[in-house]
Amino acid sequence: MNHMNFNSRRILVTGASSGLGRQMACQLALQHHADLILVARRQEYLQELKVELESSAGIHCQIIVADLSQPEDVERVFVDATAYGEVYGVILNAGITHFGKHFTLPWEGFQTMLATNVTSVVRLTNLFVPYLLERNSGGGIMYVSSMAGLLPVPYQAAYAGTKAFITNFIQSLQQELRDDPVSLTVFSPGGIDTAMTQNSKLKFFENTALLQDVVPCAHEALVAMASRKLLYVPGHLNRAQLFLTRFAPRGLVGLITQSTYKKALASA
């Protein structure tokens, strides 16, 4: 298949109100002149972004206020997005984490994480893949996973588990769809310097090489999606780290991560 062309196409972005999702939406509008379907829980942030991008980029934004941990909201995202024009691309970026000892995560919190990070993603995949195949427009879906889905991450155990599921589920599905006119891309960043990081226990990593600036990260994400990469890890340091872990025992990789994250937890 040819590369995706976002120009004047409708692209849906979940988790669009802040962080990586917001930055990808801005770049899609300003650099690719894409029309956007912005999905997040906070209406005031979505409305502010809509006004900003429609004014500065001359594109059209549809906003959908939704909590993707709620099944009825997930269904409504698909219905509302497809009711007002053809959807060409989907970026499933919304996700939540827990940084701390696993057994301090309430069961309800784990269920919410599972619903947001896994169940909603599978359901939207089940809805959008047949939709894109039926239209035969050469569209695609990008899944924002994480390096936590490729490596053990103590103190983010549940989050790492959800991202490992998405990484393996989508890579498996890619092979089932290899002869079909739709692309699935797994985008797996490491830490990103966003407001969420700055306002959390992960602030320990702020101003270190372990956090990638959100602007180049978003750019790499859109390039990976457009070029239909199967799995893409952004940032030279992240790729080097992932390469080196191939030669180290799994237990040693986990021990190094445990030591680093334990210090971050203690400093919070």
Catalytic amino acids? 159
Three-state DSSP string of the chain: CCCCCCCCCEEEEECCCCHHHHHHHHHHHHHHCCEEEEEECCHHHHHHHHHHHHHHHCCCEEEEECCCCCHHHHHHHHHHHHHCCCEEEEEECCCCCCCCCHHHCCHHHHHHHHHHHHHHHHHHHHHHHHHHHHHCCCCEEEEECCHHHCCCCCCCHHHHHHHHHHHHHHHHHHHHCCCCCCEEEEECCCEEECHHHHCCHHHHHCCCCCEEEHHHHHHHHHHHHHCCCCEECCCHHHHHHHHHHCCCCHHHHHHHHHHHHHHHHHHC
